[in-house]
Structure 1
Amino acid sequence: MACLMAAVIVAGFSLNLVMGRSTFAVPPIYHVHAFVFFGWIVLYLAQTGLIAANNVALHRRLGVLALLWVPVMVVLGTAMTVVALRRTGGPFFFDQNEFLVSNPLHLLCFAGLVGAALVLRRRTDWHRRLMFVAMAGLTGPGLGRLLPMPLLMPWSWRITIAATTLFPLFGMLADKRRTGRVHPAWYYGIAAIAVTQILADLIAYNDGGIGLTRSVLAGSAGSARPMAAYWP
């Protein structure tokens, strides 16, 4: 499943590049952002592989990187959200206010799940499942590049978030088949993603969220498009 989640992310970005929907000719922050986020994917795969090989000692030493890596991801991801909105208006199939608010909040959700997993690292049943759900949350950008997003408007964002929970659902099914019960960590992880989205919608679609979006976009090229999702 670790390989599958990584493959979904790589496939999504590769498809965009092959189809000419993205390019390497972008400001430096895009490349830094890509290095940091794909660096996490490599770290997650390495950590999973180390446990599969029963190399617990190196797994624990390498795990210290997560304490440094995750805060950088939250900061860079939030900055990229603002840059993308101001530079291009953001993806046309997302509402700008939802994109602005939900992205950082889901990054904080990711950080919270990783933090909880690290706190519970000695309870390996919780640790690996919470890390799994955190990683699943990062598959959204890959899935969003593979799904027919324009055809899903105006629910594109919520459908993408819902699609990320398919991976934990597979984990729940595996638990059920293996042990006859579903581990509670899955419920907590999926609930965290759902509550984050509900909170994001409450913020994004009130006057404060709309006002924040307008202030972020003010004077930029991104302000030329409608705030709501639209067909170009």
Structure 2
Amino acid sequence: MTSMTNSLPASGGRDRGFFLGGAIAMTFVLMAGFSLQLAMGRSSFAAPLYVHAHAVVFMGWVGIYLLQNIFAATGRTALHRQLGWIAAGWVFLMLIAGCVVTLAIVQRGAAPFFFRPLHFLVFDTVSLFTFAGLTAAAITLRRETDWHRRLHFCAMAMLLGPGFGRLLPMPLLTPWAWEATLVACLAFPLAGMVADLRRNGRVHPAWFWGVGALLVSAMAIEAITYSPVGDAIYRAVTAGTPGAVVAPLEFPKPPGPPA
């Protein structure tokens, strides 16, 4: 997210408008999801410190992404470039904070009851690294604005799972809750493909790479989850913790009514 090329296509203004609108929509999904969680009492400020640290890092990235699109849409290239260097380093914080929280949840035996614990461990981790890979590709291609924007957009779409997971009726979607969030996340890059087709008469190849990365990661998640490798990873991660007694591929019992 560091620079913009000087040679934009004829539809560059509409292009920038689409990506800014998409960034606003994705920010709304995440803010709405976490706000709903708090309003319904399913989140608490009494959560452990590492949860708060993860929230700050995650929402910090959302803010960075939105600002970068605002700067790009309004021609503030210098600010876009300067914030891009911060964004590049922020990706590492995202990986660290995300993995720490995921491991802690699984080790506590506290995976959401509409996810299989092993599946939760794998898809959270693989999704994070897919996001990081797409973001790294976007940064590498920062001088190719059309590629840069689209790959960043796909990377951001990869992060929408927690937002949709708090907005969709996940218990009613069991055992396809994760698949439902994946489809919801894919709606954003698919909308980008449609927008390209309407504006330019063709779909930019960056979308195929971005959507392809999301689909390949989904297949990898399924392959790892239901393999001896996945089971071995789960046993190693949960060894000596309460999560060790939780069946990795069985849905946890839903929480009961308050006593």
Pair in the same fold by TM > 0.5: yes
Indicate whether 1:179 and 2:218 are aligned.
Answer: no
After TM superposition, the structure 1 stretch with the greater mean CA deviation from structure 2, 59-68 or 40-49, is 59-68
Q: Which residue of 1 aligns with 2:251?
A: 229
- Shift of the alpha carbon at 1:89? 2.1
Unaligned runs of 5+ in 1: none
CA shift digits 1:190-230 (9 cap, x unpaired)? 11011011112111211221132133234433445443224
Superimposed CA distance per residue, residues 119-145 of structure 1 (whole angstroms, 9 cap, x where no aligned partner): 111110000011111111111100001
Question: Bigger CA drift: 155-164 or 142-151?
Answer: 155-164
Q: Is the 8 A contact 1:90 1:222 kept in 2?
A: no
**Equivalent residue for 1:73?**
94
Higher Rg: 2
In structure 2, the partner of 1:91 is 112
2-side partners of 1:224 and 1:207: how far apart? 18
C-alpha contact (below 8 Å) 1:153/1:229 kept by paired residues: no
Amino acid at match of 1:187: F
Q: Identity of paired residues, percent?
A: 49
Return the structure number with greater helix share.
Answer: 1
Answer yes or no: is 1:131 the counterpart of 2:131: no
> What TM-score, normalized by structure 2, do the two folds share?
0.86
Q: Does 1:102 align with 2:123?
A: yes
The one of 157, 182, 191 aligned to 2:212: 191
3-state SS, counterpart of residue 165 of structure 1: helix
The total of aligned residue pairs comes to 232
- Report the TM-score when normalising by structure 1: 0.95
User: Following TM superposition, by how much is the alpha carbon of 1:88 offset from its aligned partner in structure 2, in angstroms?
Assistant: 4.4
1:201 lines up with 2:222 in the alignment: yes
Structure 2: distance between partners of 1:230 and 1:79: 21
Alpha-carbon RMSD across the aligned residues, in angstroms, is: 1.4
Match of 1:215 in 2: 236
Query: Which blocks of at least 5 consecutive residues in structure 2 are unaligned?
Result: 1-21, 255-259
Q: Deviations over 1:134-175 (max 9, x none)?
A: 111111100001111111111111221221010111111111
Deviations 1:97-127 (A, max 9, x none): 1111121111111011111111111110000
Question: Counterpart of 1:20 in structure 2: which amino acid?
Answer: G
